Structure 1
Amino acid sequence: MLDAPIVKRSVTIAGHASSVSIEKPFWDAFKAIADEKGTSINKLVTKLDDARVGGESVNLSSAIRLYVLESLKQPS
C-alpha cells in the first residue's frame, strides 16, 4: 500500500485537456465516487476545479485526494 504507483490520467476541464497524477488507490476511489454519484470523472474533476479557484487553492491532484478523503469520512 505504501508503494502505490502514481498514475497519470488525461481529463477534460471545461473543454480543455489536462492531466492529473495521483496514486492508483485515489484514482480507484475517485472513480467509485463518480460512479456512485452517477457522473463522469471529467464532470467531477470540473466541479472540484471550479471549487478550488481563487483564494488559497491547492493543486488539482491534492484537491482530488482531499475530496476522496472527505468522501470516505461521510457515512454511507
Structure 2
Amino acid sequence: MDIPYHPPVKRSLAIHGHRTSISLEPIFWDLLKRAAKDEGVALAALVARIDAERIQAQTPPGLAGALRVWLVARIIAGSSSEADFSGAIGEIEG
C-alpha cells in the first residue's frame, strides 16, 4: 500500500463568524472535503458543526485533533454522520 505521507497544510476557514487556521495532513483535508460533499454542506459549515460538538466533550481536544478523530470515527461507522460512534471509539480505547 502506498501511504501518502505529507506534512500538515495550514488553511484558514471562517467558522462561528471568525477566521480560524487549521493544520491538517492533505489526506485529512481530502477526507473532510469528501465528507462535506457527502453531507451537502460547505466545508466551513461541517468544520463549525464538528467544532460545536467537540466543545461539548468533557475534555475537548484541539480542533485539528477533533477533525481527525471525527473523520476516523466516520470511516469506522460506515460514513454516516448520524452513526453512534461510542462502540467504535470504545473498541479503540479498550
Report the TM-score, using the length of structure 2 for normalisation: 0.74
Distance 1:14 1:38 in 2: 19
Distance 2:76 2:48 in 1: 22
Q: Does 1:59 align with 2:62?
A: yes
Distance 2:60 2:78 in 1: 26
The code of the aligned residue for 2:59 comes to E
Q: CA deviation at 1:22?
A: 0.7
Match for residue 21 of structure 1? 23
The code of the aligned residue for 1:70 comes to A
Gaps of 5+ in 2: 80-94
User: How big is the alpha-carbon RMSD for the aligned residues of Structure 1 and Structure 2?
Assistant: 1.4
Match for residue 41 of structure 1? 43
The code of the aligned residue for 1:24 comes to P
Report the TM-score, using the length of structure 1 for normalisation: 0.90
Report the count of equivalent residues.
Answer: 76
The code of the aligned residue for 2:52 comes to D
Distance 2:78 2:11 in 1: 29
Gaps of 5+ in 1: none
Match for residue 77 of structure 2? 74
The code of the aligned residue for 2:74 comes to S
Distance 1:3 1:29 in 2: 15
Q: CA deviation at 1:70?
A: 0.9
Q: CA deviation at 1:5?
A: 2.3
Give the number of the structure whose alpha-carbon radius of gyration is greater. Answer: 2
Q: Which runs of 4+ in 1 moved over 2 A?
A: none
